[in-house]
Structure 1
């Protein structure tokens, strides 16, 4: 309609449409529009190309993303840090993490290419790689990148610390995880509830319920305020440690605190009751789930059947 009325679409018009198409999952249509732009003499901008590269990476079409990236480098539009971050994230997200060693090596190559092209990685660049290495249980590479951040003047954020703490616990390096958490605590940088929840999971999985309870109490005293995830972690550990009464008491206190149990919270409480021999109570709680607007999932059914 614009063309019919003599109003020629400019780069901003095309970019807005490309952005909308990618957000609605129509990446192929966005690419066709990109070609039409060029045919009509409208040169794409960095933002429009970044949007398509991000969308291609999200759809795991990494080859197509790299082809567009190569096209950018050969044109007057230079890739920026955001472009490299999209590619690194896309490569990291390929395949299963158990088979992701080669993908992480490829992601590191893109990271090194970014530096060689004169672009300094930002905190997000490092976080993407650190997260990938942690999931592959390559914690030493993660820690090297973490040390490198401070060397070039980047300040790690809560995501960096949360990822590393989780990775250290996954690698059974509990003392290193506690040390890193303590270092971040005394540095004055605020820790968010996700970091605390990661610590609680690590402590509980390594059988340190009492230590987890101390940390949980510190959250209640000084913040951040524990959310339903944190309560669920503690209830789960109490149940697995045979402290059924404590788990029951904490579960019962949730509504008074304005917290709504999730399907995970209900399931772990049902599991605790089953293991404690309270089968009728477990079944009653299972029936109450739906009454409270929480539909049981397959895990909930498996738990009550096994109980």
Structure 2
């Protein structure tokens, strides 16, 4: 199934999924996750959500990985509200967000211009005891820069460097581009150099 999904042959993956069941091989959470990821990757989000509901109906209890997959693709498709609804419902399902899940939501919020929500989620991560990693920092910094929130981005860059993380290639490219257009404070350059 995974191979079919990677080749974009979703129909074949679904046929195999149904054939497994017809032969008495009941799919487990991992099998569902493979098909769900394939559906999402091939822009079939409504079918992916139906598959999630099927799992829930069969009492298979989707894990955080499955919800994270769906949230990521919903955010990429610009449906941040649906992703947020899944995210907000995690605790009622007995699940807890992790750093990756939060980073995906932060990215979705930033891409939708919901900067305050991204910043609030970053703060909630700290409160709940799971610290943002370098991916989280780079994601939110790029989001702030893309949304012309230069001073807030500067503060996060300071925080990132203090924690021993560095800017990734995408963040560096964006900062250098903004520096060349005089859109960010040149005082940022020594700080960025420290993070390399």
TM-score relative to the length of structure 2: 0.89
> Structure 1, unaligned stretches of length 5 or more?
1-87, 95-99, 293-307
Larger RCO (alpha carbons 8 Å, 6+ apart): 2
1:109 equivalent among 8, 11, 15? 15
1:224 equivalent among 124, 130, 151? 130
Which residue matches 1:51? none
- Pairs aligned (count): 196
Distance between the aligned counterparts of 2:121 and 2:182, measured in 1? 26
Task: Write the deviation string for residues 156-193 of structure 1: whole angstroms up to 9, x where unpaired.
Answer: 11111111112222333222111111111333312111
1:176 equivalent among 59, 64, 82? 82
Distance between the aligned counterparts of 1:188 and 1:274, measured in 2? 48
Larger radius of gyration: 1
Distance between the aligned counterparts of 1:276 and 1:240, measured in 2? 15
Counterparts of 1:116-265 in structure 2 under 5 Å?
116-265=22-171
Cα pair distance change 1:223/1:279, threshold 3 Å: closer
> Structure 2, unaligned stretches of length 5 or more?
none
Distance between the aligned counterparts of 2:79 and 2:184, measured in 1? 36
Distance between the aligned counterparts of 2:188 and 2:163, measured in 1? 22
Cα pair distance change 1:280/1:216, threshold 3 Å: closer
- Measure how far apart 1:258 and its partner are: 2.7
TM-score relative to the length of structure 1: 0.58
Preserved contact between residue 123 and residue 154 of structure 1 (Cα < 8 Å): yes
Distance between the aligned counterparts of 1:273 and 1:221, measured in 2? 34
Which has the larger displacement, 146-155 or 270-279? 270-279
Preserved contact between residue 200 and residue 212 of structure 1 (Cα < 8 Å): yes
